[in-house]
């Protein structure tokens, strides 16, 4: 029997991998969210099937069909993301179900792993605003890490940044390749997977060069903007 207890008020720091078991969720008398394979006559909801699939379910106050557009717009603006991209990730990750839990333990709309949620200070990954805040922040981090290469950032969102760095491109993982294609298809309408690599991504940013004329007539070229009025080259 396996039980995973997660408080809605504390960072999630525990991850338990469960093989071939139905997983149920209930809230105990203290308001703690509990996950277990043996609900023991408690009023619980099944959230993971024994075959590893997700169970679509909803609460009266938080429907899986709820529109999160306002939250997405707010977080996308905060982290300089296209709202359509955030929507595409949510659609691919959870199909808009804020209570979704994967067989690997990823939670909520943008499917945050417990360790990732903890690193991002997401206390309740099933709260749509907290989840989208954390997922958007993490996505922005990955985009910057891979120097604006969205394909690599999405691959890292699915497989982890270390897997992308080891592969030097999108890892040869069927799930990851399908994930990237689906998100990009929803976001851009294109169904092919762009050819990209971490090596290509590292040379995309160019550095500004400034020309400075000194009082003695000499000219200095530098990458440091010593004077705001210096022209860029």
Distance CA 160, CA 165 (A): 9
Q: Give me the catalytic one of 93, 129, 133, 215.
A: 93
Q: 183, 154 in Cβ contact below 8 A? A: yes
Give Cβ neighbours of residue 156 (< 8 Å, ≥ 6 apart): 142, 145, 146, 163, 164
- Beta strands 23-27; 45-48: pairing state: antiparallel
Q: Among 97, 83, 85, which Cα is nearest to 45's?
A: 97
End-to-end CA distance of the chain: 67
Integer Cα distance of 110 and 87 in angstroms: 9
- Say whether 215 is catalytic: no
Catalytic residues, by residue number, are 93
């Amino acid at each position: 029997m396996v039980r995973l207890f997660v408080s809605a008020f504390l960072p999630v720091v525990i991850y338990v991998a469960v093989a071939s078991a139905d997983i149920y969720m209930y809230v105990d008398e203290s308001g703690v969210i509990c996950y277990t394979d043996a609900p023991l006559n408690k009023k619980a909801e099944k959230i993971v099937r024994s075959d590893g699939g997700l169970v679509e379910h909803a609460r009266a106050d938080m429907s899986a069909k709820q529109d999160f557009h306002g939250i997405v717009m707010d977080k996308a603006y905060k982290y300089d993301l296209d709202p359509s991209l955030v929507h595409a990730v949510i659609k691919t990750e959870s199909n808009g179900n804020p209570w979704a839990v994967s067989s690997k333990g990823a939670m909520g709309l943008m499917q945050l792993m417990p360790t990732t949620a903890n690193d991002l200070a997401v206390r309740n990954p099933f709260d749509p605003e907290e989840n989208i805040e954390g997922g958007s922040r993490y996505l922005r981090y990955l985009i910057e890490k891979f120097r604006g290469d969205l394909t690599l950032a999405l691959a890292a969102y699915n497989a982890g940044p270390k897997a992308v760095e080891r592969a030097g491109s999108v890892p040869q993982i069927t799930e990851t390749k399908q994930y990237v294609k689906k998100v990009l298809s929803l976001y851009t309408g294109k169904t092919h997977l762009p050819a990209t690599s971490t090596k290509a991504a590292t040379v995309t940013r160019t550095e500004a060069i400034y020309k400075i004329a000194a009082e003695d007539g000499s000219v200095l070229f530098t990458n440091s903007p010593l004077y705001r009025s210096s022209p860029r080259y």
